[in-house]
Amino acid sequence: MPNAHRRRWIQQAATAVGAAAVAPHLFAQGAPVKIGYAIARTGPWAAGAQVSQEPNYLLWAEQVNAAGGLSVKGAKRPIELVGYDDRSETETCVRTFEKLMGSDKVDLILPPWGSGANFAVAPLANRFGYPMLAPTALSRKLIDMQLPYFFSLLQQPDKMMGALVDMLVANGVKTIAIVYMDDLFGLENFAALNAALKKTGIQVLERKSYPLGVKDLAPVLRTMKDMNPDAFIGITYPPDTILASRQAREVGFNPKYFYASVGTAFQLYKNVMAANTEGVIGMGSWNAKTSPEAKAYFDAHTKKFGKEPDRWASGHCWAGLEILQQAVAKVGLERKALREQIAKNEFRTILGPMRFEGSENVSIPGTVAQWQGGEFEVVWPKNRATAQLMPKPAWK
């Protein structure tokens, strides 16, 4: 595609946040630090992106600017966010990041949402030399690509599925049934789950995949109900997490342990499922009890947006912004120096100390969380737990 045509195409496909994120009086302090990103505001990815990522970008920029700007080796400069809607399209996402890094030459980038988009953008960020701290990339394949500028903040599939299986074994589970999304996220987590299960005596009664945009899981859930497994495992995206939960209730499928993710950690899940959240487990790693800093972030997010951050990727997203801010304060905006600073040091975050080995966050183990009394409590492993695992009560 010719460059001029490509620029027009991107301009038509996306709407920028632009300089509105910068308080006007801050311009007197120096040129803004331009931070670019593409994120889903529309399409199927938006449900996750507009909970776990973009609200955090906006809150962080607002807080940093209110405190005088981003410290760049001691000099305060305002943040200017340049954000676009990738429309939940991988091609749009990649082309937008190429524009931001290639022709716009923004100072820094923030990552897109989801394993698939990160898988597509990470090699591009590496080619242009932009550090990318990704809070929603759950892909061991991406870690194994050994891209020096890519850093994954989430616990990877082998850790998350390993923790889940360890918890099920410790609580006497003998049989399970599995559904999983037929995409990069679903397939990698399904493979990791199967690998962990092979080391146990747990019997898998059923395994079913489903496509993006699925509208009906009831037939699969009815079949699973008839098999009467001890536990249900759903490797699902937010809309499907809600769909599986609603339809499990409708068909009367109520195993002792009911696991669904991504989206279980969202306030949206609690709002939609109401009393039926109780006892549901899923991917989660923190809550406001984790640290005083986590509570301050939780309260600020809730106040600004009128909704709570999710108890998994939102915390990792904020931790990534904290790491980026600390690294810029230390070495400035020279991106190779930033990459070295991030790769070789430990950082203070709301989730505790965090450091990387290669692209992987090695500070936080695999975790499992459960809704109990209106809070998504960390229940596994025990040394990070904020509550004890309980069997799921009947759907109401």
Q: Is 388 helix (H, G, I), strand (E, B) or coil?
A: coil
Instruction: Output the pLDDT for position 156.
Output: 93
In whole angstroms, what separates CA 45 from the centre of its chain?
11
313-331 and 54-66 are packed helices; what angle lies between their axes, rounded to 10 degrees? 40
Residues 19, 185: Cα–Cα separation, whole Å: 34
In whole angstroms, what separates CA 211 from the centre of its chain?
20
Cis bond before residue 262 (omega within 30° of 0): yes
| Strands 368-372, 375-380: pairing kind | antiparallel
Residues 371, 369: Cα–Cα separation, whole Å: 7
Give the contacts of 321 (CB within 8 A, at least 6 positions apart).
56, 57, 60, 110, 133
> To which residue do tokens 């700007």 refer?
69
Q: In what order do the strands lie in the sheet with 150-152?
A: 132-134, 150-152, 360-361, 356-357
pLDDT in tens, the chain (396 residues): 444 433 433 343 444 454 344 454 544 467 999 999 999 999 989 989 999 999 999 999 999 999 999 999 989 999 999 999 999 999 999 999 999 999 999 999 999 999 999 999 999 999 999 999 999 998 899 999 999 999 999 999 999 999 999 999 999 999 999 999 998 899 999 999 999 999 999 999 999 999 988 999 999 999 999 999 999 999 998 899 999 999 999 999 999 999 999 999 999 999 999 999 999 999 999 999 999 999 999 999 999 999 999 999 999 999 999 999 999 999 999 999 999 999 999 999 999 999 999 999 999 999 999 999 999 999 999 999 999 999 999 999
Instruction: Output the pLDDT for position 223.
Output: 98
Residues 279, 74: Cα–Cα separation, whole Å: 48
| Strands 175-181, 231-235: pairing kind | parallel
* Bridge partner list, 132: 150
Q: Which domains does the chain have, with CATH numbers?
A: 3-156+290-361 (3.40.50.2300), 157-286+367-384 (3.40.50.2300)
* Bridge partner list, 84: 38
pTM, to two decimals: 0.88
Q: Is 291 helix (H, G, I), strand (E, B) or coil?
A: coil
Q: Does residue 134 contact residue 356 with C-beta atoms inside 8 Å?
A: no
Residues 180, 232: Cα–Cα separation, whole Å: 11
| Strands 75-77, 70-72: pairing kind | antiparallel
- Joined together, the tokens standing for residue 227 give 């098999």
303 CB neighbour count, 10 Å cutoff:
9
Instruction: Output the pLDDT for position 147.
Output: 98
Give the contacts of 319 (CB within 8 A, at least 6 positions apart).
135, 153, 347, 349, 350, 351, 354
- Which candidate, 227, 246, 239, 184, places its Cα nearest to that of 209? 184
The runs of H, that is alpha helices, within the chain are 3-13, 46-52, 54-66, 90-98, 115-128, 140-144, 157-170, 184-197, 218-227, 238-251, 267-273, 292-305, 313-331, 335-344
- Joined together, the tokens standing for residue 122 give 């990470």
Q: What angle do CA 30, 33, 34 make, to 5 degrees?
A: 135
Q: Does residue 39 contact residue 49 with C-beta atoms inside 8 Å?
A: yes
Instruction: Output the pLDDT for position 212.
Output: 85
- Joined together, the tokens standing for residue 81 give 């966010």
- Which candidate, 57, 218, 243, places its Cα nearest to that of 136? 57
Residues 280, 391: Cα–Cα separation, whole Å: 9
In whole angstroms, what separates CA 131 from the centre of its chain?
17
